[in-house]
Structure 1
Amino acid sequence: MSNGPDYGGAHGYGAAPQQNPYGQGQYGQNPYAQPVPPQQPYGAQPYAAAQFETPVQPAGFPGPAPRRNRLVVLLQFLLQWIYAPLWIIGLVIVIAVVILSDYGGSGPGSDGWLKVNRSFIPPRRLRAELTGRPEDWERYVTPVLKRRIAAAEVAHAAGGGEVQVDLSREMSVALAARLYRGLGADGVVRVAERLGWQGASSGTDAERVRLVRRFPAPPAPNAPSPQDPLAAPGTPWGPQSTRFAPLLPVIFLLQIVYIPVYGLLTFWIDRPNPDHWSCWGACWTVGPRAFRAEFTNSPAAWDRHIRRILKRDTTRELGRAADSYGRLVAPDGTFLRRVQLHRATYRGAGAHQALRIAAEQGWTLDPAYTPDPVNSLRLCRPDHR
């Protein structure tokens, strides 16, 4: 195998090492720009994956709700500019009192009282609330829905979504009834279908409409097998540069202060990347377990660190009962256990070395995700109920 960006090897990596399941695709290709046809899972899977199926759409969805009284809507719109700031100030005072008094009692069962936005009418929605016409509601809902769907598809490309038994991943978006009152859930579903999404059951929550889209497993990528020579430093699968060793103790001490500060200042920002915090932590923090490995940058120290983290995660994953996997269990009782190793775990050793160590314990690359060795390794291995 060459140590450049093309990682095709003589020996494929999958359930059957003698095959080459990575014969198609190129590392770095984005299969999520448009949905792709269903692909066969890597090599020989532990069970025959089900055919790709679209989510089952319920028979019908509720129509428009009765229009609210115009006078009430206008009063709410005018008064909200007074009570919303007062509400926020009151919440800040309550939270400060709770923190300072070391309150240990039980709080309310819902966090709804924290979300003043639920009773707030944006100016863009005022016209729809006043007229009650479905076309006005659709003009308001459509851009809201497009933004949420776009965020969900970005999250899917970054590794989000619920994995299905056929290795596809399902993304979902939910809208509260206040956002589509005059259009109805059926109208929201019609708009969503034009964007390639479908309506799905929201269970017992009648105040919400749920939309889903299922994306098939990505094409089999080019990736090194455990039998290939180690990837060269600086390549995506090879060792990454480590930080200046004398700086690590300073980072280790200062992170006690700046991690909470950064979290408090940015908690309100929507992070579509599910691995945002692990990637941020790999750049700006150093964990106690990884300190020795990164400080010495010794291959042996990195190997010990990888094995220790992999053992911890494996033990935790094996502790999960098979029944907790629900519909991810195949008819014959087979299912895939999954773990994820982050960049901070293998930075100085490289993703390829971490892959070789994981292969000793039966872990392989998870075929439900496009490999992203620069940031994390998603691994799976078969188990049976």
Structure 2
Amino acid sequence: MPTAMPSGAPDRRAVPGPGVPVEPRRTPAERTAPRRSRIGLAAQFVLQFVYIPLGILVAIGFVVLPFWAAATSGSGGGGSGTDLGDLARILEGLARSAISWRRLRTEWSGRPEEWETFTERLLTKRFSRAERKSRWAPHELSPSRVRRAVTHLWLHHHHGLAPTRVEQLAERHGWSMDWAKSTVVKDSVGKFANR
């Protein structure tokens, strides 16, 4: 039974002819992430002023409530509630979900030039922090004298750039993307190591 094609619609199964340019397939490392909707961006930016303070109150409540319950019940124990490490992870997650004004403007425009400026600024900060934390001072080096610093960059910080372009930005600073440990292809995080 033949398949019906709407009149005037091109047959996508047909092979393009000699005069039709064919766009080469890009690998996942060469593709940019899909652009976010402007309505979603605006909603997240406005609502973050509600859900972040509420999240902080709830997180503090999970830490304080077990101690308060134990104190009022007279059992004398400290309770087995959430510890401060969990509180720190919750607060870090809330901070990561926030959108700065600069990031909102960058995502709103969606232009690669603006993403490049935004991402390079962020990479510069991350690289200098990683170098400070990884004991790069000559008197702090290990006996092997090997210097290795590692940092990461979440997808939402380079959403409008292809991972290969982010790697080129990192190479300007003497860093390279660690493709073996990176999950950029899965839209998660890029890991960078100093050369």
Q: Tell me the TM-score normalised to structure 2 length.
A: 0.66
Deviation at 1:104, TM superposition (A): 6.0
Kindly provide the amino acid, as one letter, of the partner of residue 42 in structure 2: L
Deviation at 1:116, TM superposition (A): 0.3
Kindly provide the amino acid, as one letter, of the partner of residue 141 in structure 1: T
- The answer to whether residue 80 in structure 2 is matched with residue 103 in structure 1 is yes
Kindly provide the amino acid, as one letter, of the partner of residue 136 in structure 2: A
1:343-382 counterparts in 2 under 5 A? none
Q: Residue in 1 aligned with 2:194?
A: 213
> Would you say the 8 A contact 1:137–1:182 is kept in 2?
yes
Q: Residue in 1 aligned with 2:38?
A: 70
C-alpha separation between the residues in 2 aligned to 1:160 and 1:72? 49
Distance change in 2, residues 1:105/1:124 (3 Å): closer
Q: Percent identity?
A: 30
C-alpha separation between the residues in 1 aligned to 2:81 and 2:61? 17
1:184-199 counterparts in 2 under 5 A? 184-199=162-177
Q: Residue in 2 aligned with 1:173?
A: 151
Is the helix fraction higher in 1 or 2? Answer: 2
> Would you say the 8 A contact 2:62–2:82 is kept in 1?
no
Kindly provide the amino acid, as one letter, of the partner of residue 103 in structure 1: S
> Would you say the 8 A contact 2:120–2:169 is kept in 1?
yes
Specify the SS of the correspondent of 1:209: strand
| Aligned residue pairs, count | 152
Distance change in 2, residues 1:160/1:84 (3 Å): farther
Q: Residue in 2 aligned with 1:299?
A: none
Distance change in 2, residues 1:99/1:162 (3 Å): farther
> Would you say the 8 A contact 2:182–2:190 is kept in 1?
no
User: Where does structure 2 lack aligned partners over 5 or more consecutive residues?
Assistant: 1-26, 71-78
Deviation at 1:140, TM superposition (A): 1.1
- The answer to whether residue 113 in structure 2 is matched with residue 145 in structure 1 is no
Kindly provide the amino acid, as one letter, of the partner of residue 63 in structure 1: R
- Output one character per residue of 1:217-237: Cα deviation in whole Å (capped at 9) or x when no partner: xxxxxxxxxxxxxxxxxxxxx
Q: Residue in 1 aligned with 2:8?
A: none
Deviation at 1:169, TM superposition (A): 2.3
Kindly provide the amino acid, as one letter, of the partner of residue 76 in structure 1: Q
CA RMSD of aligned residues (A): 3.2
